[in-house]
């Protein structure tokens, strides 16, 4: 019986692990604004394939540590008003600290800002073609942050292992 308790305690410790260092399976938000116009915020679970689109011609896709948006038609831009376009990605839980965003795009004048759980891209409205794209790779420090449930499982595993060792000493 004591071997079973020790084994279960060790299993709890080993299964606790750390959070997934990426976005797959997470719920994320994307919001597009054009000056004072807001084209809506969408919430998606990151998985295989594209997560959604704006205007039926701006398709976006999240990867584990990446984001892409591309146009599939030619049009004057978001509003043809020459406003600042802002694309905000929020509720990003990388499971590690975001340290950099590597941007690849054929849009001109794109600026990037980011924090612990968001990335924002801004640029002056411009003509879009079927080859317009913006891609970002998210760089993390690689240090996984344990999820609260994992910490609880880890603590229970340690407690179970400790109790089994304590009982073994008494016998």
Tens of pLDDT along 39-66? 989 999 999 889 998 888 899 999 999 9
Residues 13 and 96 reside in one and the same domain: no
Q: Given this model, what pLDDT does residue 132 score?
A: 95
Residues 155 and 132 reside in one and the same domain: no
Q: Which residues of the chain are under the pLDDT cut of 50?
A: 8-19, 145, 147, 150-151
Domain contains 130 = yes
Q: Given this model, what pLDDT does residue 151 score?
A: 45
Token duo for residue 101 = 């965003």
Tell me the residue range of the domain where 154 lies.
2-17+148-170
Question: Into how many domains does the chain fold?
Answer: 2
Residues 43 and 124 reside in one and the same domain: yes
Q: Classify each residue of 29-43 as buried b or exposed e, where b means 16 or more C-beta atoms within 10 Å of its C-beta.
A: ebbbbbeeeebeeee
Residues 110 and 164 reside in one and the same domain: no
Residues 97 and 152 reside in one and the same domain: no
Residues 6 or more apart whose CB falls under 8 angstroms from that of 56 comprise none
Identify the CATH number of the domain in which residue 79 sits: 2.60.220
pTM score of the predicted model: 0.73
Residues 11 and 91 reside in one and the same domain: no
Q: Given this model, what pLDDT does residue 154 score?
A: 54
Residues 105 and 125 reside in one and the same domain: yes
Distance between CA atoms of 8 and 72, rounded to whole angstroms?
54
Residues 6 or more apart whose CB falls under 8 angstroms from that of 159 comprise 9
Domain contains 22 = no
């Amino acid at each position: 019986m004591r071997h079973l308790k020790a084994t279960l305690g060790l299993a709890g410790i080993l299964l606790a692990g750390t959070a997934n260092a990426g976005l797959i399976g997470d719920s994320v938000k994307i919001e597009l604004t054009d000056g004072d116009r807001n084209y809506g915020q969408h919430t998606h679970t990151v998985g295989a394939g594209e997560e959604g689109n704006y205007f039926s011609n701006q398709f976006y896709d999240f990867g584990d540590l990446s984001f892409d948006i591309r146009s599939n038609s030619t049009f004057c831009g978001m509003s043809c008003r020459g406003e600042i376009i802002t694309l905000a990605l929020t509720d990003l839980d990388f499971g590690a600290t975001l340290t950099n965003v590597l941007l690849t795009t054929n849009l001109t004048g794109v600026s990037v800002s980011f924090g612990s759980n968001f990335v924002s891209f801004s640029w002056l409205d411009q003509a879009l073609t079927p080859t317009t794209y913006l891609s970002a790779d998210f760089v993390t420090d690689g240090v996984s942050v344990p999820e609260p449930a994992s910490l609880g499982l880890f603590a229970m595993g340690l407690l179970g292992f400790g109790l089994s060792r304590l009982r073994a000493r008494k016998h």
